[in-house]
Amino acid sequence: MPRSSDDDARWELPVWEPPAGSPLDEVPRWEPDREAPRWQPRRESATRTRARGRTETVAAPRAPAPSKAPLPSRALAWWGAHPWLIVWALVILTPAAAVLLRVLDESGFEMFVRPLGWALGVLLVVTLAIAMTGSARRSVARLALGTVSVLIGLGALLWPVTQVTLGRTACPARATGDLGAAVAGGALDAWRRGVSGDASWRGGQPDGAWQERARGAGLLDYELVDTGCWERAAPIDASRTWHEFRVTVRSNGEDAPLSKSVVVHTATGDDGWKISAIEGPLP
């Protein structure tokens, strides 16, 4: 069988072309109309779909909201987490509490001064004990530092309102008895007789400066002028009193008697009223 050669002619599909001038060239081709309306969903159906979705969302079950603890329980929990803040708040308010007790004392409500004072003291001790217990579980150093700081702060705030003397004033109505006037008069009587009167002094020993002044002049007569207590910001302490005497003295080497003023300081203790100091003789 003879082989084909590349030079041999190959059969190809004939392409038909319309003859020139034939009506096929003038056939119009279809093109889409750009202004043709397109389908869009109805607004009512879209609104219903969204409403249905919201309804399904609302109807979905929710987790129950956690219930809040009662207010006292929350307050105690906060106190347990910050015990030293409560202690320092009470310490800072202590001077104001002392002044408030003084106002009650001066307003005729002296029967409430002592109970309220004890109540405030117990409250401070309880809060301090709670703070110390909580700090002891965490750190001993924190316990020591917090306790020492509170005690120092309390002393620094209470000292000006309790220990600083603002002058002389009358004793409150709750102060009863002679308030040490008899002991003060006994010291002046011993001066007039020329004895030391050690039994009238606190500790059984008279003040050395007073002995020197008493030796320099002889007492001729004395008279009690006034008795009172020492003024301070806190409620007046009726256990510390003063007694002013008008005395007639004659200095050694002089013939004319002189009128002077003597103020005797007294304080009460386990052994009764005792003399703590004597001012004078003053002009």
Mean pLDDT, 10 residues at a time, the chain of 283 residues:
55 64 59 64 57 51 62 67 85 92 88 90 91 82 87 92 90 85 86 73 73 79 90 90 90 77 88 84 67
pLDDT at 131: 86
pLDDT at 142: 82
Element of type H or E holding 94? helix 83-106
Closest CA to 210 of 277, 265, 283, 282: 277
Q: How far is 49 from 52, CA to CA, in rounded Å?
A: 5
DSSP state of 5: -
Strands (E), the chain: 167-169, 217-231, 240-251, 258-269, 272-282
Determine if the pTM surpasses 0.75: no
Which amino acid is located at 83 in the chain? P
When computed from its CA atoms, the radius of gyration of the chain, rounded to whole angstroms, is: 53
| Dihedral angle, C-alpha 145, 151, 155, 157, nearest 10 ° | 70
**What topology is assigned to 181-282 in CATH?**
Nuclear Transport Factor 2; Chain: A, (3.10.450)
